[in-house]
Structure 1
Amino acid sequence: MRKIFLIFFISLLIISCSTLKPKATGDETEIITYVDSLLYSQIERDLKFVFHRLIYTPQPESLFAIKPEFQIYSIDKLKYRKNLMFVSTLDDKSDIGLYILNMLDPASKELVQKDSAYIFIKNDLWSKGQIVLILIAKDKETLLKHLRKDRNEIYIYFRDEFFRREMNAIISEGHNKKDIEKYLLEKYNWKIFVQHDYYIAKDSAQEKFVWLRRRTPEDMERFIFVHWIDSVYDPYKFFNQVWIANKRNEITKKFYRTTRDDAWVVIADDPESIKYLYFFPVNFNGRYAIRVQGLWRFNDFTGGGPFISYVFYDSTQKRIYFLDGSIFAPRYEKKKPIIKKGPFLHAFKTASEIKG
């Protein structure tokens, strides 16, 4: 369970009581990080280990990039950015360290001194759609301890905000296919967000498989599939890497085939694809899940691309769910399209969740 401590920023940092704040600016993937240069040199490796998580597309790319700022006077220029982070310790006497310390009220400082809190978050502080996060510990050693022990928790704050912004932007367009969403909910007791240019390419109650496909622009393909297994009472025998890889290959060999039906999609059957296949235990909308990311290819080596999968158990329905998003875009940059699969997959809900 996350330990979130929301703080009251002193009047120096409150721009006004008005809700008329500008919209946050800047790159979604940049985290502007205010930190003293000496402290940064001591924690840089661990800080980057938290946020620079590689996605192979097949080029190695990261969702987030740390952009360190060593001079506090630049805050007036950068305080409207989407992602801001302040990193310090209670014994940091630099200009940045003192600025961060002044952001905390006495009760928060006491929590930090006792090592009862080290993360402080404020959304929409200076601009709408902004996340401001403070990482502060009583000393460098304690800060490093949390960076290493709680790296996933820290990362998720920014990742979830990224997902929220993406879904809000898509939903605000108002072009999702509500008829398909309603159909899937009524027929299968689950719902997923269906953007306006996706369509159902395969729908099989017998196979417990639904494939959503997007073909715009014409030379880029995006796929989402949902597969489920009913009447599961011992779910964790499914939560292993061999079963997940074999199950995906079983599904794609049957459904992800070329137009001539002479080739199909595979993963993890050659040294190169195994090299870039990663499995992570994660929290998926409150459930334990396995997140898989890697590269797929046609079995005849004529093409390929990145994919992301989530495998989790729904105890109410006694179902194992396998959600998967992938892209085929030979002539395009692939980082953002595959990253944006995450918000779509996380928008998945069962009927009981919607009613609840």
Structure 2
Amino acid sequence: MKKIVLLFSALAVIVSLNSCSRGKPAAKGPDDRIYVIADSAEFESLRAAVDSVFGKIIYTPQPEKTFELVRRDFSELDKLKESRNIIVIAPLNSTSNVANYVNQILDENVKNGVRAGRDFVFNKYNLWAEDQLVMILTSADVSLLKAKLRQNSASLLEMFRKASVKKLFNSLYMDKYENKELEAKFLREYGWVIYVQKDFQLVLDKPKDRFVWLRSLEGNDMARWIFVHWIDNASPDFLNADSITKERNRLTEKYLKPAGAGNYVKMTDEYKTTSEVNFHNKYALLTQGLWEMSDKSMGGPFVNYTLFDDKTKRIYMLDGSIYAPKYLKKNLIRQLDVLLQSFMTEKEMDPRKKAELLK
């Protein structure tokens, strides 16, 4: 089986420094904005690399940046200390104010690791505010820093994405809006659970095909849906882009189609990406892209996690899609992403939560 990609990935040497958040103010600002503290001249050289990592374009199908990047001078750091997402970036060999700051906060042993190319990213969680991520990015010089950014782009983006998901889940989760009856049904009958908001209805439940489809309709111009599919007695060899595309298209052609119509949902090849991610300490493939009806009458973005659970020997496919032609969809698909990441198997559940659902 492929090596599990952890949040602090083997793709990059990560030092995570957690700070106590008691008594600190709540972080401010949009979840999808990152303030970049960088010297103006140095940033001109680093801009393309930084933007390619954190400003990655999501096609929904309108192009929307994953994160909005706002560069600020070091002199503005104090007034930005309560911001939700901050990057401080500079090479060690620079004499800029940002580089001086980085050199001051890292001890000599750590800087030796940076100069040797072992370390380059340091995270501080809740440093100046709660629900905050401050990322320090540094290397021996600008050229090495650009190379490190490009070599580790997926894992760096995933760190901010995970922090955003955690914050968003805390804001979405409300006990009074939770459909515990459906959650208990899935747990009792199938051995897994996913957070279900009360505006989601169970549209299809197909035990023989191990397929569950949930949908939320908001008028005629917005729909959200999630499906969960699992394969028993499976092999981790299934975890490749071709198998995922083939299986997803098989399921959507069979089940995701208007009543009485000949057309159906399928995945488009345009803008499709597949990346390795950590899903609750399991190796998973994250597929993002666009879906469309076979007659091209409708379409929108989707997000899909496919993973292998070694304890149950199951492949799980967790999939969320949006139809919202009148709206920007980045934040809508991010909300579905959060719901998908609430998925867990029975063995992963807190015993108290399990007992509460099944009582």
Q: Please, what TM-score do these two structures have when normalized by structure 2?
A: 0.88
Counterpart Cα distance in 1 of 2:239 and 2:141: 39
Partner of 1:34: 37
Task: Deviation per CA, 1:103-148: give whole Å up to 9, x if none.
Answer: 3344433433343322211111111111111011222233223212
Q: 1:266 to 1:116 in 2, by over 3 A?
A: closer
Residue pairs, 1:345-356, within 5 angstroms: 345-354=340-349
Partner of 1:254: 254
Selected match of 1:281 from 254, 273, 276? 276
How far off is 1:355 after superposition? 5.7
Q: 1:79 to 1:249 in 2, by over 3 A?
A: same
Counterpart Cα distance in 2 of 1:300 and 1:214: 23
How far off is 1:174 after superposition? 4.6
How far off is 1:218 after superposition? 5.0
Q: 1:240 to 1:156 in 2, by over 3 A?
A: closer
Is 2:43 the counterpart of 1:47? no
Question: Counterpart of 2:99 in structure 1: which amino acid?
Answer: G
Residue pairs, 1:115-130, within 5 angstroms: 115-130=117-132
Is 2:322 the counterpart of 1:327? yes
Counterpart Cα distance in 2 of 1:314 and 1:125: 35
Partner of 1:97: 99
Report if aligned partners of 1:191, 1:349 keep a CA contact under 8 Å in 2.
yes
Residue pairs, 1:1-356, within 5 angstroms: 1=6, 2=8, 3-7=13-17, 19-69=22-72, 71-172=73-174, 174-232=176-234, 234-236=235-237, 238-267=238-267, 273-354=268-349
Counterpart Cα distance in 2 of 1:8 and 1:259: 52
> Which is bigger in relative contact order (C-alpha 8 A, separation at least 6)?
2
Counterpart Cα distance in 2 of 1:319 and 1:29: 34
User: Which runs of 5 or more structure 2 residues have no equivalent in the other structure?
Assistant: 1-5, 352-359
Report if aligned partners of 2:39, 2:74 keep a CA contact under 8 Å in 1.
no
Amino-acid identity (%): 34
The DSSP-based 3-state class of the residue aligned with 2:257 is coil
Report if aligned partners of 2:16, 2:123 keep a CA contact under 8 Å in 1.
yes
Q: Please, what TM-score do these two structures have when normalized by structure 1?
A: 0.89
The DSSP-based 3-state class of the residue aligned with 2:209 is coil
| Off by >4 Å, runs of 4+ in structure 1 | none
Q: 1:262 to 1:183 in 2, by over 3 A?
A: same
Task: Deviation per CA, 1:250-277: give whole Å up to 9, x if none.
Answer: 111221111343321122xxxxx32222
How far off is 1:301 after superposition? 1.8
Question: Counterpart of 1:72 in structure 2: which amino acid?
Answer: F
Q: 1:243 to 1:101 in 2, by over 3 A?
A: same
Counterpart Cα distance in 2 of 1:93 and 1:287: 42
Task: Deviation per CA, 1:186-218: give whole Å up to 9, x if none.
Answer: 110111111231121111211100111111355
User: Which runs of 5 or more structure 1 residues have no equivalent in the other structure?
Assistant: 10-16, 268-272
Counterpart Cα distance in 1 of 2:269 and 2:68: 26
